[in-house]
Amino acid sequence: MLLSKVKIGQTVNIIKVEGKDKNRRFLFSLGCFEGEKITLISVLGGNYVINIKESRYAIDESLAKSIVVE
């Protein structure tokens, strides 16, 4: 399942990060690794507010669709 399909408030595990190398490196810099827990806080205007390692970030829908979770 993709992060863009997760319900607000749900915490899931990251299985893998797909997409272009540039986007993957950006997500890795946020701490978005395989096995990490990620929580979807809210969706505002096409931006996904996420919580990774006690930090909050806003990513766009294309980045949310490149994160595969379980």
The domain total for the chain is 1
Q: Which domain holds residue 14?
A: 3-69
pLDDT at 25: 96
**13-53: per-residue pLDDT in tens?**
999 999 999 999 999 999 999 999 999 999 999 999 999 99
Structure pTM? 0.91
pLDDT at 36: 96
Q: What is the CATH number of the domain that holds 41?
A: 2.30.30.90
In sequence order, the 6+-apart residues with CB closer than 8 A to the CB of 59 are 27, 30, 47, 48, 50
pLDDT at 69: 97
Show the 3-state SS of the chain.
CEHHHCCCCCEEEEEEECCCHHHHHHHHHCCCCCCCEEEEEEEECCEEEEEECCEEEEEEHHHHCCEEEC
